[in-house]
Amino acid sequence: MGVQGFQEYLEKRCPGAAVPVDLLKLARTAARQPPHHHHPHHHPHHPGPMPPPPPPARILIDADSGLQRLYGGYQTDWVCGGEWNAMLGYLAALSQACLYQGGLELVVVFNGTLGKERWPEWARRAQGQRQTAQLIVNHVGSKATPPPRAWFLPPACLSHCVRLAMFRFRVRVVQTLEDHHQEVLSLYRDFGFSGLIAQDSEFALCNVPAYFSSHGLKLSWNGKNLTTHQYLLSEAARQLGLKTQHLPCFAALLGNHILPDEDLAAFHWSLLGPEHPLASLKVRAHHLVLPPCEVVIKAVSEYVSSIKDLGNLDAIARDVFKQSQSRMEDKVQRFKKAVDYFSAASKPRSPNMGPSAFILPGFGFGGPPGHMGPMQPGKNQVDSPTQEFFLPPWCVCN
């Protein structure tokens, strides 16, 4: 799907949109920021009681897109069924480093959904994994050496093993039930998390203020540094000529689980025009051919940025599907549904939660570049440890 190619485009084609960060250092910096409460009625010689220490920052990890890193990265024996001792050692070191070195609380979200709309997406992914598995079997049979790192496939039941390991190391585990992406974003928004660690384009397109790469997650040997990359959607959007209000329509027109690439192929080719160097691919092919993802992203961004009235979805849909020869009404409804889906996912967090302590404020929409600012005085960035962490009814946790 076109939307799933956005993450790679952001990393490779948008310089400055992925910056290196140390999560433990950010957590320690946030913890050192003292609250600045001002009480004018207090006498200067009789100061009030000392404020309690700040609670640890909480980070949400999407296990669905970060299993390889939770497994500990590449192990040469993974092809034999899993290097479980190495995985347990890594998760133990990760949980201890976050708790004791940086004061960082991890919450891991596992995908428990069976949404019918994502079955075609799951089928395409499963087909690709079967092809990779066949390459692995042929490689091991012919060369008797570990397969290339790029062919990594998660060992069977890895998700369940990681979940049990998290229980063992007293890391909170949550499972989604209906729509994984929407529920992860709802957790992040509504429960005061300082950041989201994942590797999914849908999260990147939903304007998450503090979104970090799970594939780039690296724990130092001494447990004092947990480095990764922070994705700055604002910078990517600036380079694409987009604003915040453009993102839902942009995501809908890239191709997604609601409005698939096949329904948008004619529109994408029309954006390129007959003079484009790739136009001959469509003419020579006897079956459906899609333009390269990076070309589609650039063309769709230019189209969306030129739309005068983003609220008139009917007019946009008529223009997008003007070359459609079948299922016109169905495609229009799917387009509207996709826009609504990404609009709901991009909803900002409640003002009562305050901004994330891990935001680089210079990279927010409309702000000048700058360093990480202090936590907002008088606003809790995360819930106090003495408060119960209540979850919505669609979540199951340990």
Domain ranges of the chain: 18-31+55-231, 240-345
pLDDT tens track for 61-80: 999 999 989 998 777 777 77
Band (159; pLDDT cuts 50, 70, 90): very high
Percent of the chain with pLDDT over 90: 55
The structure's pTM equals 0.82
Helix, strand, coil share of the chain (percent; to 5): 45, 10, 45
The Cβ of residue 57 has, within 10 Å, a number of other Cβ atoms equal to: 27
Average pLDDT (141-149) is 91
* Cα separation, 193 vs 190, whole angstroms: 8
Average pLDDT (314-340) is 93
Q: List the one residue out of 269, 241, 245, 275 whose CA is nearest residue 255.
A: 269
Band (365; pLDDT cuts 50, 70, 90): very low
pLDDT at 388: 38
The DSSP line for 242-279 is: --GGGHHHHHHHH--SSS-HHHHHHHHHHHH-TTSTTH
The CATH class of the 18-31+55-231 domain is: alpha beta
Band (375; pLDDT cuts 50, 70, 90): very low
Phi, psi at 22, each rounded to 5°: -115, 110
pLDDT tens track for 257-306: 999 998 998 899 899 887 777 766 665 555 677 888 999 999 999 999 99
pLDDT at 132: 95
Q: Which helix (H) or strand (E) segment is 104 a member of? A: strand 104-110
pLDDT of residue 367 exceeding 90: no
pLDDT at 179: 93
Band (321; pLDDT cuts 50, 70, 90): very high
